[in-house]
Amino acid sequence: MYAGSAMAQEKTQKTLQFAITGDVEKASVITLDSLKQYKIVEIGDKNVTDHTGAFKHKDDKLKGILLKDVLSHTKFKTTSPKLLSRFYFVCAGVDGYKVVYSWNELYNTAVGDQVYIIMEKNGIAVDKMPESIQMTSSSDFKTGRRYLHNLDKIVVGQVQ
């Protein structure tokens, strides 16, 4: 019982920043203020579905920043651009929920043009949202699978 209630409390913990760590030249911390420096685009309205495709809820008036724009200042630990195909990104929320993207998915497919850090939802700015820094992959068919609340860190890794 105690572990369950601790986990429930953890899910409501807001994040006001997240770290980028792992196979990078220099780890960094991205704050809400630093996010405001990036281009914020209108994503529109999105239906959020579960793993079966069943409707869960609708988010209106989404605005966000492309994840790859935020990662644009990150230098990956690699000796050759050919090795970038080995890289992946584990985006983790404070509750332990994790979402994974490959380097090729973000930088070499249309999916990368639809992976956002949400800056506004339902007319509410990121710093006022109960589940603060959120992410979505708006081109996914089952949108809830990679909808992440309270982003805490992005760990960059490589397949060996």
Which amino acid is located at 101 in the chain?
Answer: Y
**CA-angle at 152, arms to 148 and 158, nearest 5°:** 85
Distance between CA atoms of 153 and 142, rounded to whole angstroms? Answer: 23
Q: For 22, phi and psi rounded to 5 degrees?
A: 100, -135
Q: Provide the whole-model pTM.
A: 0.88
Residue 53: C-alpha distances to residues 15, 34, 144 (Å)? 28, 35, 9
Residue 130's pLDDT is 84
101-120, pLDDT tens digit by residue?
999 999 999 999 999 999 99
Residue 12's pLDDT is 60
20-74, pLDDT tens digit by residue?
999 999 999 999 999 999 999 999 999 898 888 899 988 999 999 999 999 999 9
* Per-domain boundaries in the chain: 2-158
128-147, pLDDT tens digit by residue?
998 889 999 999 899 889 99
Cα-atom radius of gyration of the chain, to the nearest Å? 16
- How does strand 17-22 pair with strand 151-158? parallel
Q: In the beta sheet, which residues pair with residue 48?
A: 57
CATH number of 2-158: 3.90.420.10
66-100, pLDDT tens digit by residue?
999 999 999 999 999 999 999 999 999 999 999 99
Distance between CA atoms of 109 and 139, rounded to whole angstroms? Answer: 11
Residue 9's pLDDT is 38
Q: In the beta sheet, which residues pair with residue 156?
A: 22, 89
Length of the chain: 160
| 132, two tokens | 């603060």
